Structure 1
């Protein structure tokens, strides 16, 4: 499959690396042009390109860039992309930590719905409820008891199935969490968010999610992270998420 990955931060680079390793034809891009991603592309066996090149002819597109950058994509950016091509958004909203406050999201709009509105296209939400470290190092064979799950939300069954196949190929159980509007149930600090859970536990977390409790837990986790007198380690985050709002 020809897959374009825009953004090579922690999640985007890991997705690109794993997909290239499984034999997919991967193109990588960021906002600074092909030269800025050339070394990384050579390292993983992908094609360096600019953002326009990453979507041209792609059979799946992975957007892994911060929310403000998503909002700045040109209005015609996806005009040539067929509706059958899944646009997979991996983003999360971290106000005060990484992102400026966004009024619509502060007022309660679902992050993924907001993203879809910004780019003018339906999206599939995936890879947002797993840490990059877990994505890189904790893949497991299908049927394994150790296999972690990745939530996948979206409104189109066909494009969602493609996204779920990609998740499965990468060594994780895809969990269909329903519509895009339902994806708030695996946004930051929800019970199924970044806890290194199995498919069964992610489904329980999605069912137990409460928006007011999620927002409360998110604030507490952010505050706790600010008190660390050492570098935050990847292993700290699942423990914190479970402590403040894990599956009951």
Structure 2
């Protein structure tokens, strides 16, 4: 497939490498221009392009940008064909990067907000796995204990496209339903960055509670302070799991 990844940080860089390695035609674009894309992101065959040229003639566009920034791209997406699948990977942490966003603070689902700002439907995927998990824990389909990633969106066809790409990055895709239900995979619910299998993930999504999950999210500074210096991926996953025991 022809894929553009907008953003080349930890998540965007991971996805560009994984998807180009899987054989897809991958372009990477960042606001600072092609020269700002790190060489290691391009080693598997992805190409750095200007943001203005990144969205035309693509099957899939993946947004790996800070939450709240999608509105700045609305003009860029105005001429993108309606059948282009747009995938949102961002998460909202109040006061971090995007500052406070009143609509989301008042209960609007993160990716519903993003879709409104962008002016286009989006699919929610890859948001519920740590960047290090995505970089190091992907394995072939059928491998015992393969980690599952939830995928939510209103178009069944677009969800299937996103799910196939999740599979290509080394994880079991799980159909998490419509975008309005994607709050269940937001920070810091039982399904968020807890590295569950396809058998375990449905129960975790069902157990999500918006009040409790927000309280866990807002307690992250205290939880993080209790971790060892330079915590490992295992340390962080255990912290997230422990919050829901």
Deviates more, 1:234-243 or 1:86-95: 234-243
Aligned to 2:61: 61
Ranges of 4+ aligned residues in structure 1 off by more than 4 Å: none
Aligned to 1:180: 179
1:171 CA drift (Å): 1.5
Aligned to 1:236: 235
- Where structure 1 has 5 or more consecutive residues not aligned to the other structure, the ranges are none
TM-score, structure 1 normalization = 0.93
Deviates more, 1:109-118 or 1:63-72: 63-72
Aligned to 1:143: 142
Aligned residues: 245
1:33 CA drift (Å): 1.0
> Residue 201 of structure 2: SS of its match in structure 1?
helix
1:201 CA drift (Å): 1.4
CA displacement 1:37-64 (0-9 Å, x = unmatched):
2634542311111222221111111000
Aligned to 1:212: 211
Change (3 A) 1:235 1:96: farther
Change (3 A) 1:42 1:229: closer
Decide whether the 8 Å contact of 1:37 with 1:49 is kept in 2.
Answer: no
Deviates more, 1:33-42 or 1:113-122: 33-42
Aligned to 1:126: 125
Give the Cα separation in 2 of the matches to 1:162 and 1:232: 34
- Where structure 2 has 5 or more consecutive residues not aligned to the other structure, the ranges are none
Aligned to 1:90: 89
> Residue 68 of structure 1: SS of its match in structure 2?
coil
Aligned to 1:15: 15
Decide whether the 8 Å contact of 1:140 with 1:146 is kept in 2.
Answer: no
Aligned to 2:32: 32
CA displacement 1:96-124 (0-9 Å, x = unmatched):
34431111111111101000001000000
Deviates more, 1:166-175 or 1:30-39: 30-39
Decide whether the 8 Å contact of 2:70 with 2:117 is kept in 1.
Answer: yes
- What is the CA RMSD across the aligned residues, in angstroms? 1.6
> Residue 168 of structure 1: SS of its match in structure 2?
helix
